Structure 1
Amino acid sequence: MLPRLARALTGQPTRLSTRRRAATPIRLACAAALASCLSLPAWADEPPASADSKEAEGPIANSAMDGSVFFDVLAAEMEAQNGDLGEAFGRMLATARRTRDEGLFQRSIEIASQARAGDKALAAIKLWRATVPESTTALLIQLRVLVQLDRTSELSEPIRTLIEREPANERSATIAALPRFLSTMADKRKVLTVTEQALAPYAKAEATRTAVRTALGRLAMAADMPETALSQARRGMAEDPSAPGPVLLALEMMPKEPAAEALVQGYLARPDALTPIRLAYARSLDQQQRIGEAAVQLREVLAKQPDQTAAWLSMGAYMVDLREPAEAIRSLEQFLKQANNLKSDANDGGEGDDPDGKHDVRGMVELTYLLMSQAYEQRGDLRTAGQWLDKIEPARVDMPTLTRRASLLAQSGQLAQARALVREGAARDEPDARARLLAEAQLLRDQRHWTEAYELMLGGLRQDPNDTTLMYELAMVADRLNRYDDMEALLRRVIALKPDDHHAHNALGYSLADRNIRLDEALALVKKASALAPHDPFIVDSLGWVEFRLGHHDEALKLLRRSHLARPHVEVAAHLGEVLWVMGQKDEALKIWREGQAREADNDVLQETLTRLKVKL
């Protein structure tokens, strides 16, 4: 649990905020006074209490309010009610100062806020702090008002004072909460500078220096200063190699600052590396489509902690994606054995949560059935694949499940029935006509009915000429039909409509490189795609293939190894193997090709490569 001030900074309920809103004797008396102006007191119609009942109620607490204070507060409230906020503010603030009542100070700030008078609110807070120097509530409110008013230059002193007042064992948590608290301020670089000044005394203390490095690193990230953020992460890890804060900072930086990954990997090489950080690293790799590397991390987690139930499902999904059905089935079976460990919520139709409240158990089990079906389909066992799909209740069938069922029908020779199923089958996610058309086209492509797929999507595009998804998919089929002019025209149209579409840039650049034509243009297109999606392993593969066509074998090998490590797809294996073969590393090439063939023996790219190079595996 966060310390109280850290919770206050991050907006979570705290004892402090509860106390701040509690009614003081003066505030209670004011409320009672206002009620008496409008109606009879609540006890007017009740019989007098007996002496015995009064004694049972305990001793009477006399109000701290004298007559003068009472009428000043009442007058201020009435002025506020009548819209005279300036007079109300002045009267309330003067009364607060005289009585040293924190509730009245807060009320004066509320009135200033109601009047949109930020300077008056800050003046009231400064007077409050001068009158009640020990008030932490005043400090917190001052910080909130400064953030709301975007008064960056005034933050340093209250931040430093707030941390000074924290117990020593809670300071790090409060420091860690600062980046989120300050995230709405406009001048991010100035925020970083001011916060660095405020935290200077704590950057040297052993107990707080790691929290300072992490907080300043996050503020530097927000200020678009990746080198500064990386420097803070490095210093934090050097000062305390086992601390999780700097490595989590490095994880957050990875998508924009590749050099940060080395810090994460260095931490994970430690024997005391925390499992949640390894899982977070796996998720980051997944988000970058680096499925092969994510699977490596999950294997390590599961070898040490096989009770990580959700990780078994993730591993199963990765193995299906990588066409490793045997390992996929083992992982998914393990998930189903442990699924009961996840909490179930009987109140919402079987959906439930894990201990952290993050998972829909029923949905996870249904996804497992779908993945099991795919894994058995990859093994060629269509009967068992269908049995796994049968475990999903008819009312719970969605479009992905319907598509898998249609795929099984098509593979068993019932293509017409499969097409009818995706066109007309009931699905709970209520797919529209476009989604059904794309699913039907994919069925035709899987069965190598390229012309029919082309005509189907062309008809859909005629109905919506600006549908870039249909354009892209139609271009991919045109490529298979060797209709290269059509493909190029379609992809250029996608780029014109969506200049940031990395798939279109990559596909056009790869096609040019694969045909060994206009290689300079191919390189420019793929580099543009890489700038838009720098971590996509298929774009890295395209870059490697262009470099190979240009004769830059060493650079090609480096890029293709990186792509194959991230996602060992059979087409990447075909490219990597060819580069190795040409460079004389034939044993490794054969090994890479055999691994690719084991995943997808009938892949066209692999078979064309082996035939052209006259290689038999």
Structure 2
Amino acid sequence: MAPFRFAVLALAASSVLAATAWAQPAPAEAPASGPGAAAPVENSVLDAPLFYQLLIGEMELSQGDAGTSYQVLLDAARKTRDERLFRRATEVALQAQAGEQALDAARAWRQAVPGSIDAHRFEVQLLVALNRTAETVQPLRATLALVPPAQRPAAIGSLPGYFSRTTDRKATTAVLEQVLLPYAEQRSAGEPQATAVAAWVALGRSRLAAGDAARALDAARRGQALSPRSEAVALLAIELMPTEQRAESLVTAFLEAQPPAPAATRSAVRLVYARTLAVAQRYADAAPQLEAVTRDAPQFVDAWLTLGALRLELKQPAEAEAALREYLARLEAGSEAASTEAADATQDEDAATPMQRLTQAYLLLAQAAEQRRDFKAAEGWLAKVDSSQALTVQSRRASLLAQQGKLAEARSLIRALPERQPEDARSKLLVEAQLLRDQKQWSEALGVLTEANDRYRDDTDLLYEQAMMAEKLDRMTEMEQLLRRVIALKPQQPQAYNALGYSLADRNQRLPEARQLIIKALELSPGDPFLIDSLGWVEYRLGNHDEAIRWLRQAHGARPDTEIAAHLGEVLWVSGRRDEARRIWAEARARDATNDVLKETLARLKVDL
């Protein structure tokens, strides 16, 4: 035999010996008759014919003949009824991208070892991969029947993940309902309540993925009726909130349940809840949830960072700075590990590294100082940020310069920045335009954005910004053309519909069309306070004052933005509720006395606060 052939044989033999460790029984415990007594010798069940059969199977695979290897290994598995060989045969078929053969192996495995949970799981996963979802009912039922009752809730909770890549979500829901409803409705005797709760949660997630939010909410309600303190039910309700507003009552019911869930569990739910509220721009609602976390679970250090960011959005720089300084103090005290644990507790896949979080804290502190117009302090915080954030830091520095009347210097600072990434040139143009916009240099800003759109054709962000500058200059035809282009390019983007609808409403033009545009925006982004504000404003222009007040109260309650407050105050004022209007305007001016919309509203209505 040639040396190469010997080498291949040796390699294959070593692979077989590694793969057939199953053949070596575990040594028995030493008998109690005497110390150090040797365990009885048990011979391996691996005889010579089987050894050579496995050797041939691995050799065929190493030489690229996966089909023969599969047949040889599957035959060996059937003879021995050993699960590891069935698994190996299945893996060989998968390696060869032979899905049907892998399924045959998994089914042979299940038939040979009917008590094997892994065999049933492999069969389910292969059926799903082969887009044969309807055939998974029986193996799923058999899998759950084999799982010990104490482990069944966790097994049920994992089922929606099996179908995460399927395209027919309704078929998946139909399968899971056949499998899980007996557990959810507690038809099976002796099942713990936790199993029923897990089943309702799994059904809720499946229904939500299939676009049936109403029935998903029903599942969550049924789960909470069984276990008011269930964290899984509360998290499902939070997932439902963007599409089913009624789900929020389940979250608050969990947080208020008596006796309460453990503090760490409540705080983990509050963190996810606060994040969902913040995404919906309901900052005023999110902040108290984070404050409760900082009080009840101080180990969740990142809550202070998020709270600081929210306080800045609410134009509360002093409160923001206090939260951010507390965050830094806890990091310096050695709480990085706790912060990481908190991220794990909330299953945040996008959790930042400690250095990224520190950088974020410095940038937010600079922003807080800027809001207080303490430019020296802002520069001090920016100086702490590492050099990898050059564009972000220099953008903030340029903003500080512009606010001190040094706009030309600010623009030069941005233009001089090196362009290390292809995206940097576009980002610099956006930053420069924003500087000009903040300083009310509308024509200059429009010029920069026009130039940017010449370089980056059909960039919807740039087109949108250019439209906003055209609106500021009352170039309505140009604005509408640009926004219509954005809608054509990105019909699922709500901002363009809202901007066009609001601009028409603000000028008392084409009000029915303006209303339809804003409603379309809200369909794409339900619950967005700024879109709700636009709807309230167009209702006001249409003369529907009570309806306008209802929408504007909702928007202001979710986010007490100064412009929203100006709108709500105006509708209240003309409706005769002047004391309330004065109170809302006074609170808004205390937060942001420089807001143009508020100042224009008070001047036009001749209100002296």
Closer, same or farther in 2 for the Cα pair 1:75/1:236, shift >3 Å?
A: same
Structure 2: which 5+ runs fail to align? 1-16, 26-36, 345-350
Q: Are 2:230 and 1:243 aligned?
A: yes
The alignment of Structure 1 onto Structure 2 pairs a total of residues equal to: 565
Q: Are 2:494 and 1:513 aligned?
A: no
Partner amino acid, structure 2, of 1:443: L
Distance 1:503 1:547 in 2: 19
Alignment partner for residue 114 of structure 2, among 128, 133, 144? 133
Distance 2:421 2:548 in 1: 44
Q: Are 2:467 and 1:492 aligned?
A: no
1:604 CA drift (Å): 1.5
Partner amino acid, structure 2, of 1:106: R
Closer, same or farther in 2 for the Cα pair 1:491/1:114, shift >3 Å?
A: closer
Partner amino acid, structure 2, of 1:196: E
Alignment partner for residue 216 of structure 2, among 218, 221, 229? 229
2:5 aligned residue: none
- Is the Cα–Cα contact under 8 Å of residues 156 and 202 in structure 2 kept in the other structure? yes
Q: Are 2:355 and 1:359 aligned?
A: no
Superposed, 1:401-440 pairs within 5 Å as: 401-425=393-417, 432-440=424-432
Superposed, 1:426-505 pairs within 5 Å as: 432-505=424-497
1:109 CA drift (Å): 3.4
1:7 aligned residue: none
Distance 1:341 1:175 in 2: 41
Q: Are 2:166 and 1:185 aligned?
A: yes
- Is the Cα–Cα contact under 8 Å of residues 506 and 526 in structure 1 kept in the other structure? yes
Partner amino acid, structure 2, of 1:413: G
Closer, same or farther in 2 for the Cα pair 1:380/1:124, shift >3 Å?
A: closer
Q: Are 2:570 and 1:578 aligned?
A: yes
The superposition leaves residues 563-611 of structure 1 with CA deviations (integer Å, 9 ceiling, x where unpaired) of: 1122211110000111111222222111111111112212111111111
1:181 CA drift (Å): 1.7
2:207 aligned residue: 220
Alignment partner for residue 125 of structure 2, among 126, 135, 144? 144
Please, what TM-score do these two structures have when normalized by structure 2? 0.84
Closer, same or farther in 2 for the Cα pair 1:81/1:198, shift >3 Å?
A: same
Distance 2:129 2:226 in 1: 35
- Is the Cα–Cα contact under 8 Å of residues 309 and 338 in structure 1 kept in the other structure? yes
Closer, same or farther in 2 for the Cα pair 1:105/1:460, shift >3 Å?
A: closer
The residue matched to 1:398 in structure 2 has which SS? helix
The superposition leaves residues 108-158 of structure 1 with CA deviations (integer Å, 9 ceiling, x where unpaired) of: 434554666555544444443333333333223323322322332332332
Partner amino acid, structure 2, of 1:137: D
Distance 1:540 1:332 in 2: 31
Q: Which has the higher contact order (CA 8 A, sep 6+)?
A: 1
Closer, same or farther in 2 for the Cα pair 1:194/1:307, shift >3 Å?
A: closer
Closer, same or farther in 2 for the Cα pair 1:102/1:580, shift >3 Å?
A: same
Q: Are 2:363 and 1:370 aligned?
A: yes
Q: Are 2:375 and 1:382 aligned?
A: yes
Structure 1: which 5+ runs fail to align? 1-20, 30-55, 346-351
Distance 2:370 2:492 in 1: 36
1:421 CA drift (Å): 0.9
- Is the Cα–Cα contact under 8 Å of residues 343 and 361 in structure 1 kept in the other structure? no
Superposed, 1:46-125 pairs within 5 Å as: 62-70=43-51, 72-73=53-54, 92-110=73-91, 112-113=93-94, 118-125=99-106
Q: Identity over aligned residues, as a percent? A: 47
Distance 2:402 2:494 in 1: 32
RMSD over aligned Cα atoms: 3.1
Distance 1:25 1:447 in 2: 74
- Is the Cα–Cα contact under 8 Å of residues 200 and 219 in structure 2 kept in the other structure? yes
Alignment partner for residue 607 of structure 1, among 593, 599, 605? 599
Partner amino acid, structure 2, of 1:315: L
Please, what TM-score do these two structures have when normalized by structure 1? 0.83
Alignment partner for residue 272 of structure 2, among 266, 277, 280? 280
Bigger shift: 102-111 or 320-329?
102-111
Distance 1:566 1:389 in 2: 31
The superposition leaves residues 19-38 of structure 1 with CA deviations (integer Å, 9 ceiling, x where unpaired) of: xx973357789xxxxxxxxx
Distance 1:331 1:220 in 2: 39
Distance 2:103 2:444 in 1: 71
1:88 CA drift (Å): 5.8
